A and B are shown apart, each in its own frame.
Chain A
Amino acid sequence: MISTNKTSIDQFPAPLLQDFARIPQSRKRIQVDLADVEHLYIFGIGLLATWLRTAAKQGRVANATETTRRYLDRIGFIDVVEGRTADLWAEDEGFAIALQRLQSTSSVFALTDRLVAIIDKHGFLGSDDKGGLQTTFAEMMENVLRHAGSFRNAYVGAQYYPKRRKLSIIVIDDGIGIRQSILTGWNDELKHVATTDEAAVSLAVKPLITSKPVRKDRELGHSGYGLYVVSELAVRNAGTFALTSGDATIFKYAARGNPKSRIMLHAPWHGTIVSVVFDLNQLLPIREVWATLPMIEGYSSEDFFEN
């Protein structure tokens, strides 16, 4: 049995990872005690559900209040733990996306459509920006799946918190993780840099990073814009972005208007997690992010256009 009472919108649930590390993967039955839990946020729920799905043949929660149990059911927690897929359209009227298994590219587009609909309903979004935002979210999920190495246990969930007007999104998998993805890719230069999980997550949020350059893998060789654009969007929106893989998490956020990033080392997660919190009081300046894509060092004077 494990117990925890630390999950929040903005706080990284490191204590959960610590708890997970104490439990052997071979345990057949794992029971999570929710007696001390005051608040359940989507980050912690997604993390706990995916871990239970991965680590236990039979996972269950105990001592949850009736309200909590109903919420866990509605948000797809029970479905994930028991190996079912929640109905994408079954939840509560544009406030949440119940944890959904990413099964195919078409499931990515259905999910991004829903995400943008939630933002559009509760926040400020120009009609011209909907498609761009949808594409950006799709690329972020695609980036995560590439690092996962498979669709086996990859989930997306989201919850809008009306009192604080914040939208929290989690994309999580139990795949090979970013560092291993880089080490098994084609890009030899990145392999030399990604010597630790800390280095790997730092690399993954830089623009234009791919572990699979196109010369050897043309059809799959997308440059990595998804994670970078979403992280910049969160920073410019006064939100937060966190990317976890292995024993490292990189956070990107703004402090007094200035972009910041920091690394936290913690008990390892076998896979990749992206957590984004947007402040829907504020615009999501997607065009601003595109318009300020950084030029690669040494190429800043390149101009391919007719003058």
Chain B
Amino acid sequence: MDIRLEKFGTVLLTRDQGKPIRAKLLSLIRSGHAIRVLFDDVETVTPSFADEVIGRMLLDLGEADFRKNITLVCSDPATRRLVNAVLANRKRELLRS
């Protein structure tokens, strides 16, 4: 199932913006859907938003289930780097816990 983040806004800034989106995505995954999260047409993503939505899903699901159920799609190298940096941090926490 494709989830276009742009549907939630082209400027994605705060953790408060991210919380309901994460809840929706987790609900879809837990009801058996694999999802593709598309960043196309999103103009701004902050580290906080990325962490609240994507980083915390990694913690909630664990890396194996995260990779199995979520595909991230983004053509913008800056956003990819930001999200990868956020996820790497959460992966490190996951491995340490």
Using a CB–CB cutoff of 8 Å, the interface residues on chain A facing chain B are 128, 131-132, 134-136, 138-139, 189, 207-208, 213-215, 218, 222-223, 225, 229, 287, 290-296, 299, 302-306
Taking CB atoms, residues of chain B closer than 8 Å to A291 are 78-79, 81-82
0 or 1 for each of B58-97: is its CB under 8 Å from A? (1 = yes): 0100000011000111100011111111111111110011
Which of A131, A139, A223, A295 is the one whose CB lies under 8 Å from B84? A295
Using a CB–CB cutoff of 8 Å, the interface residues on chain B facing chain A are 11, 13-15, 36, 43-48, 51, 54-56, 59, 66-67, 71-74, 78-93, 96-97
Query: Which A-B residue pairs are the 9 nearest by beta carbons?
Result: A291-B78, A299-B88, A215-B97, A293-B85, A208-B89, A225-B47, A135-B13, A305-B72, A302-B88
Known A-B contacts A132-B13, A294-B85; A305 and B96 likewise in contact (beta carbons under 8 Å): no
* Residue in B54, B71, B88 whose Cβ sees the most chain A Cβ within 10 Å: B88
Known A-B contacts A222-B15, A304-B87; A296 and B92 likewise in contact (beta carbons under 8 Å): yes
* Residue in A207, A208, A290, A304 whose Cβ sees the most chain B Cβ within 10 Å: A304
B93 lies within 8 A of A215 (CB):
yes
Bound-state CA distance A46–B97 (Å) is 40
Q: How far is the CB of B9 from chain A (nearest CB, A)?
A: 10
Taking CB atoms, residues of chain B closer than 8 Å to A213 are 93, 96-97
Q: How far is the CB of B3 from chain A (nearest CB, A)?
A: 13
Bound-state CA distance A290–B48 (Å) is 10
Q: How far is the CB of B37 from chain A (nearest CB, A)?
A: 10
Bound-state CA distance A197–B88 (Å) is 28
Q: How far is the CB of A3 from chain B (nearest CB, A)?
A: 44
Bound-state CA distance A299–B13 (Å) is 25
Q: How far is the CB of A267 from chain B (nearest CB, A)?
A: 35
Q: How far is the CB of A301 from chain B (nearest CB, A)?
A: 9
